Amino acid sequence: MVLPSRPDLEVVGAFNPGVTRHQDEVILLVRISEAPHKASSSIAAAPFYNAETRRLEIKRWPANEKGPDLSDSRLIVHQGRTWLTSISHLRIARSTDGIHFEVDGLPTFGPDSAYESFGIEDARITHLDGTYWINYTAVSDRGIATGLASTKDFKSFERHGIIFPPPNRDVAIFPEKIGGRYVALHRPMPEGLGHPAIWIATSPDLLSWGDHRLVATARPGNWDDVKIGGGAVPFKVRANRQDAWLAIYHGVTGSPPTYSLGALLLDQHDPSKVIGRSREAILRPETPYEREGFFGSVVFTCGALVEGDLVRIYYGAADGVTAVADLSLDGILSGLA
């Protein structure tokens, strides 16, 4: 049971967690999405953080044919402006076995600026130089951008601002420097010229990013033919007698869309080079809780833990719940083309 942050809100999702080990625990930073209690089906309501009053407020419209467009369960589109039907914050869940978790009763990390007025989503946690670096999606009417925070103890957090301007999400920072630079995958979202794709960037300090290069695009005729984006924090593997980086990513196909997971194998020294890619998805929405929910037919990961041949993927299902899947590393590697 995940408690709401306020009595007038209900929790509609607890999903897309970032994951790491800290001391003797497995720690998740779960995206908790909340929506206003439904007073009536004839009212559309959008929660938002007001950076001036520093409070979460709720905007309401009559839900009739003259009212906003509600065709996407996640959105309220009205007079050319877009609002979200729910607002997310991050909350810690702790476990000693990696399977049974206790979720904190209060938000750990929530909206705190005009860049986060529609919420904070999809944390990835990278343990690096003794600090846990947490990148997250900062959503507002300024766009969908990526923010960075850090902590050493998961008690106090420091914010470092926006590291990738909109439209950009699905950032995953590598857990070590490569060639003397920090490295991250990111997912810009151009339209018209260009399409959402996985890019890479490097940084001298984790705060400023440059040398942007394209890594991978959607593949026509495959399970990832509509769009793709970064997923879990990449981890090092041994493949074909050499070290390489494995990045579990999400791919989208079809309409309505199906979100599945696959893997990219990236060169050890130059991870902009793709040396392998999953022919088929390694995880697809199959169970009822993956196929039906707030936004159905979605498996989406922000993190995995690896031990020997075990790749334990923590993932969000149908934008509603958190699930875990144990995969074989050898199995993932043998499915690369």
- Judge residue 284's burial from the number of C-beta atoms within 10 Å of its C-beta, 0-12 exposed, 13-18 middle, 19 or more buried: middle
C-beta closer to a copy of itself: residue 25 or 170: 170
- Cβ-contact 120, 135 below 8 angstroms: no
Which residues between 81 and 100 bind a copy of itself (CB under 8 A)?
82
C-beta closer to a copy of itself: residue 27 or 84: 84
**Which range binds a copy of itself by CB under 8 A, 30-38, 211-219, 308-316, 321-329?**
211-219
- Site membership for a copy of itself, residue 69 (CB under 8 A): no
**Which range binds a copy of itself by CB under 8 A, 186-194, 231-239, 294-302, 313-321?**
186-194
C-beta closer to a copy of itself: residue 105 or 190: 190
- Site membership for a copy of itself, residue 141 (CB under 8 A): yes
Amino acid identity for residue 176 in this structure: E
Token digits for 132? 């846990």
* Contacts for 290 with CB less than 8 Å, ≥ 6 apart: 297, 298, 299, 317, 318, 323
d(CA 186, CA 215): 10
* Contacts for 327 with CB less than 8 Å, ≥ 6 apart: 282, 283, 310, 311, 312, 313
- Site membership for a copy of itself, residue 31 (CB under 8 A): no
- Cβ-contact 172, 234 below 8 angstroms: yes
Judged by CB under 8 A, the number of residues near a copy of itself is: 43
Q: Which residue from 132, 199, 294, 295 is in contact with a copy of itself, where contact means CB under 8 A?
A: 199
d(CA 82, CA 118): 10
Q: Which residue from 45, 90, 125, 197 is in contact with a copy of itself, where contact means CB under 8 A?
A: 197
* Binding stretches for a copy of itself (CB under 8 A): 82, 114-115, 118, 139-145, 161-168, 186, 188-195, 197, 199, 201-205, 207-214
